[in-house]
Amino acid sequence: MDYYSKEISKLIESLSSLPGIGPKSAQRLAFHILNMPKEDVKYIADSLVSARDNVHYCKVCCTLTDQDICPICSNPKRNHKQIMVVEDTRDLAAYEKTGKYDGTYHVLHGAISPMQGIGPSEIRLKELMVRLQSEDVEEVIIATNSSLEGETTAMYISKMVKPSGIKVTRIASGVPVGGDIENIDEVTLLRAFEGRVDL
């Protein structure tokens, strides 16, 4: 990077520290930024710092928010008797995009992964248990990913919650809508078979 002056090298280096941005993209981005109006660059820089400074976990569901309690948890129109447990805020957003779920959420910020040394205490499970004790909850819907970690977490939550008598469900696993049977892996096909429903 000696080909560029210090300020440019520093910019390229700091951009390439971000995930999914390799040296080539960092270079392209850097030169784009150097050609942007100063106020636009300032806007981006400010939005980075300000988001990092002001965004924290919702006191109820642990999603990322800039308020004390997120808009979903503070909305009286949502069904507070249903809690959907997701791995992260992006998963919450994905379900919100469906526009059909009116319950609340709980964001774990991860999944149990013995391989990566992430145990139950590393994710927001304690907060979920506190909610189940203090709130009047009827159903916990587990919407962790359909990966090894997601399934392990689902099993763990299920075992943890069941003694309290609260209903525990897991989102269905099967052939995605529009999916071509011939291109779908065996495990999914088997799941879809096992989970077949009456027509």
Single out the residue of 23, 40, 68, 114 in contact with its own copies (rule: CB under 8 A): 40
Stretch that binds its own copies, among 48-56, 113-121, 167-175, 190-198 (CB under 8 A): 48-56
Q: By C-beta, is 8 or 129 nearer to its own copies?
A: 8
Hey, what amino acid is at 178? Answer: G
- Position 69 contacts its own copies (CB under 8 A): no
Rounded least distance, CB 47 to its own copies, Å: 4
* 17 is a contact residue toward its own copies (CB under 8 A): yes
Instruction: Indicate whether 74 belongs to the interface with its own copies (CB under 8 A).
Output: no
Per-residue contact track with its own copies, 78 to 97, x per CB under 8 A?
Answer: ----------xxx-xx--xx
- 10 Å CB burial of residue 21 (0-12, 13-18, 19+) is middle
Q: Which backbone phi and psi does 145 adopt, to 5 degrees?
A: -60, 160
Query: Furthest-apart CA pair in the chain: how many Å?
Result: 68
CB of 107 to its own copies, least distance (A): 11
Task: Tell me how far apart the alpha carbons of residues 112 and 152 are, in angstroms, rounded to a whole number.
Answer: 7
Residues 6+ apart with CB under 8 A from 192: 173, 174, 175
Closest CA to 61 of 119, 128, 123: 128
The window from 27-35, 112-120, 149-157, 175-183 that contacts its own copies (CB under 8 A) reads: 27-35
Contact 153, 111 (CB under 8 A): yes
**C-beta closer to its own copies: residue 31 or 191:** 31
Q: Residue 17 in 3-state DSSP?
A: coil
- Based on the shown chain and the rule CB under 8 A, indicate whether residue 54 belongs to the binding site for its own copies: yes
Between CA 148 and CA 49 the distance in angstroms is 35
Residue 144 engages its own copies in binding (rule: CB under 8 A): no
The count of chain residues that interact with its own copies, using the rule CB under 8 A, is 57
Contact residues: its own copies, CB under 8 A? 2-8, 10-11, 13-15, 17-21, 25, 27-34, 36, 38, 40-55, 64-67, 70-71, 88-90, 92-93, 96-97
